[in-house]
């Protein structure tokens, strides 16, 4: 907040013509850092639980759940821990959460390793049918289930709930209220996947028909469920899946609504996607983060992954398409030992993503100009990453004596990947301090700001601020009439 005016404001972003100033000089110029900065809005995602469960070793009884979570969290490339589980894994009875032990283990590991957390709760999954449904029993017992088709090569029939049924809708609202009450205020929550219709909560049931009586009911129900989540989750970003509307349930309308309200995007594969989803991601609105994964070779076993004519493995090829989309996240899945082994033998993909995935911002130029009897500070923020800012970037200029603190924003999504954005602060006359500090913050949802670490090679303050020393107006080095 600007302590001089008591309000936030949008910064002047130019153009800054030479005719506006009475003399200027370059105070600082930075270069990209070779170190990887952990910031909200991008990173590698390690899975403590996926739709099939935890690691293969845990499923086979060869490893404890505690060991698996620690292995994923302790990888030096992990930034976010992710849980993808069924509704029945978070609630067993009305009115309260009954979280599977993986939740507390994940949250504890995130605290100890300085990581962030994300999750998805699935209302439907084909993985364990017919033995069990993704729904908790207290919901499944009260909601009609619809046969949608036979499993290939089997006699059993997949079922889907009537999402439009009043009992389902009531339980769905309560689930979101309980989850938001528990997690929406958690400072290390990165994002939550929008709970959508169908298999894995991604908005589809494959080639099977939907369980609704007609398209109108399907679309209005799915839109209402999306609106409910958008209303309840006020602080944590929600991510909507790019799944096409192949089942005719209103995915297109849900996605448009979600994007209009600032949701992020996610896609569950990258190389095999049809042009529609790739086009959606590439043409997304400014300020929209993208979460990417590819499940075909999720176990990262090198002996199972084919190579192309250039000797590039299929998984590394998938990783190297993340910068093509300007995406923000890449999923590591559950097999920590295999990921480490793969990274040792295929370092380029990880190196490339550490340099280009998401954003990397720094104050590339800082100028001081004489204007209006005082000083104007202009900063050119460079983004060395491949994506624009996933939200609104705020800059804060403060004096070391604490008497001045000016805060302002630049346009949503700016600076875009590989580009610059200029912004200025006009200092009050004679405020009496030559030592300034420049900080950055990212607003991911209205009013929710997170500190951002500068990605420059030059030295920063111990608290991450970039130091600026003003020049006296009578000293040498000023330029004018050039």
Cα 128 to Cα 224: distance, rounded to the nearest angstrom: 28
Classify burial at 420, counting beta carbons within 10 Å of its beta carbon; exposed 0-12, middle 13-18, buried 19 or more: middle
User: Closest Cα to residue 364, out of 25, 32, 30?
Assistant: 30
Q: Where are the beta strands (DSSP E) in 202-289?
A: 238-241, 264-267
Cis before 194 (ω within 30): no
What is residue 19's DSSP assignment? G
Distance CA 255, CA 257 (A): 5
Q: What is residue 371's three-state secondary structure?
A: strand
Which residues in 299-320 are b (16+ Cβ under 10 Å) and which e? bbeeeebeeeeeebbbbbbbbb
Q: Is the peptide bond before 415 cis (omega within 30 degrees of 0)?
A: yes
CA R_g for the chain: 25
Task: Please enumerate in sequence order all residues whose Cβ is within 8 A of that of 397, keeping only pairs 6 or more positions apart, or say none.
Answer: 377, 404, 405, 406, 407, 425, 436, 437, 438, 468
pLDDT by 10s per residue, the chain, length 482: 333 333 458 999 999 988 777 899 999 999 999 999 999 999 999 999 999 999 999 999 999 999 999 999 999 999 999 999 999 999 999 999 999 999 999 999 999 999 999 999 999 999 999 999 999 999 999 999 999 999 777 788 999 999 999 999 999 999 999 999 999 999 999 999 999 999 999 999 999 999 999 999 999 999 999 999 999 999 999 999 999 999 999 999 999 999 999 999 999 999 988 899 999 999 999 999 999 999 999 999 999 999 999 999 999 999 999 999 999 999 999 999 999 999 999 999 999 999 999 999 999 999 999 988 899 999 999 999 999 999 999 999 999 988 899 999 999 999 999 999 999 999 998 877 899 999 999 999 999 999 999 999 999 999 999 999 999 988 888 988 77
With a CB cutoff of 8 Å and minimum separation 6, the contacts of 149 are 157, 158, 207, 208, 209
Token digits of residue 4: 């001089």
Give the Cα separation of 214 and 210 in Å (integer): 9
pLDDT at 216: 98
Q: Is the peptide bond before 15 cis (omega within 30 degrees of 0)?
A: yes
pTM for this entry: 0.95
| Beta-bridge mates of residue 420 | 382
**H or E segment at 180?**
helix 166-183
Q: How far is CA 472 from each of CA 91, 400, 428, 480, rounded to the nearest angstrom?
A: 64, 17, 15, 15
| Cβ atoms < 10 Å from Cβ of 460 | 17
């Amino acid at each position: 907040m600007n302590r001089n005016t008591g309000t936030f404001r949008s910064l002047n972003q130019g153009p800054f013509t030479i005719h506006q100033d009475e003399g200027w000089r370059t105070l600082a110029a930075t270069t990209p850092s070779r170190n990887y900065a952990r910031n909200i809005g991008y990173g590698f995602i390690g899975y403590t639980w996926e739709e099939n469960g935890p690691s293969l070793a845990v499923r086979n009884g060869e490893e404890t759940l505690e060991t698996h979570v620690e292995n994923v969290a302790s990888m030096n490339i992990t930034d976010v821990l992710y849980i993808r589980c069924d509704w029945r894994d978070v609630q067993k009875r009305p009115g309260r959460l009954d979280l599977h032990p993986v939740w507390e283990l994940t949250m504890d590991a995130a605290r100890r390793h300085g990581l962030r957390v994300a999750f998805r709760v699935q209302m439907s999954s084909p993985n364990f049918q017919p033995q069990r449904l993704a729904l908790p029993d207290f919901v499944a017992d009260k909601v009609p289930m619809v046969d949608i088709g036979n499993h290939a090569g089997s006699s059993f029939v997949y079922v889907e709930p009537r999402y439009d049924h009043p009992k389902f809708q009531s339980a769905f609202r309560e689930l979101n209220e309980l989850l938001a009450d528990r997690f929406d205020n958690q400072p290390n929550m990165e994002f939550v996947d929008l709970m959508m219709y169908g298999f894995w909560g991604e908005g589809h049931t494959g080639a099977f028909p939907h369980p609704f009586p007609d398209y109108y009911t399907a679309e209005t129900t799915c839109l209402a469920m999306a609106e409910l989540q958008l209303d309840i989750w006020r602080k944590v970003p929600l991510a909507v899946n790019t799944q096409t509307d192949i089942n005719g349930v209103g995915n297109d309308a849900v996605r448009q609504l979600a994007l209009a309200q600032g949701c992020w995007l996610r896609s569950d594969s990258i190389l095999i996607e049809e042009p529609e989803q790739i086009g959606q991601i590439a043409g997304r609105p400014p300020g929209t983060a993208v979460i990417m994964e590819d499940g075909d070779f999720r176990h990262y076993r090198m002996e199972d992954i084919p190579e192309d004519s250039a000797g590039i493995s299929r998984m590394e090829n998938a990783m190297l398409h993340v910068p093509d989309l300007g995406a923000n996240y890449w999923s590591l899945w559950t097999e920590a030992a295999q990921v480490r082994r793969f990274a040792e033998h295929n370092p380029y993909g990880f190196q490339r993503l550490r340099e280009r995935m998401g954003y990397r911002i720094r104050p590339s130029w800082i100028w001081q100009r004489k204007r209006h009897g005082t000083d104007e500070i202009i900063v050119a923020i460079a983004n060395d990453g491949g994506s624009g800012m996933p939200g609104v970037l705020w800059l804060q200029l403060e004096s070391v004596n604490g008497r001045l603190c000016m805060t302002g924003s630049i346009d949503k999504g700016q600076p875009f990947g590989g580009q610059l954005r200029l912004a200025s602060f006009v200092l009050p006359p004679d405020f009496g301090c030559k030592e300034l500090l420049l900080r950055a913050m990212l607003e991911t949802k209205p009013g929710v700001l997170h500190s951002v670490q500068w990605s420059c090679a030059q030295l920063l303050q111990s608290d991450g601020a970039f130091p600026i020393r003003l020049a006296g107006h009578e000293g040498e080095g000023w330029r004018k009439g050039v």
